Amino acid sequence: MDIYLLRSSTQVPPVVIALPTEDRRRAVAFHREVLALEPFGELADDGVPEPLQYRLDARTTLMLIPTGGFGWVLGDRAAAAPGTSECLLALTLPTEAEVVATLDRARAAGATVITEPAAQPWGFTATFADPDGHVWQLTVPS
């Protein structure tokens, strides 16, 4: 469903995808090395922007919240246990070679490979879990 159908206005508000992280410095290094993402914002005492955010496009931001703070945001709801995935982060890439190269960078940076690159009915794909256990799918659609 097109998000525009969900609102009376044609203007879509900004979207922030928030995920917990156990180690902000590790997260910055991983996302920089694997996905070439650079955080933005004012640096905190640890040298990492606070909040830790990455601009994905003009309206979408990925924010990584320290695990303790993430629990505060959730209130009485429990966060997913380690090894449990409630969310799949999908990245569409232009070529099969880019899927393989991105997975290789992820593996070298400490990711756990879930599925090796392979052709599927919907496209060429691979998946990995980043150091915080968040699952990323790399795909070239067919």
Go through the domains of the chain in sequence order and give each one's CATH number: 1-78 (3.30.720.120), 80-142 (3.10.180.10)
pLDDT value at residue 3: 42
pLDDT value at residue 4: 42
Rounded to the nearest angstrom, the gap between the alpha carbon of residue 42 and the centroid of all alpha carbons in its chain is 21
- Torsion sign across C-alpha atoms 11, 65, 81, 87: positive
pLDDT tens across the length of the chain (142 residues): 344 444 445 677 888 999 999 999 999 999 999 999 999 999 999 999 999 999 999 999 999 999 888 887 788 888 887 778 778 899 999 999 999 999 999 999 999 999 999 999 989 999 999 999 999 999 999 8
pLDDT value at residue 10: 61
pLDDT value at residue 1: 36
Residues 6+ apart with CB under 8 A from 64: 18, 19, 20, 21, 24, 27, 51, 52, 53, 132
Q: How far apart are the two ends of the chain, measured CA to CA in Å?
A: 21
pLDDT value at residue 114: 96
Look up residue 23 and give its two tokens: 């180690």
Q: What is the pTM of this model?
A: 0.79
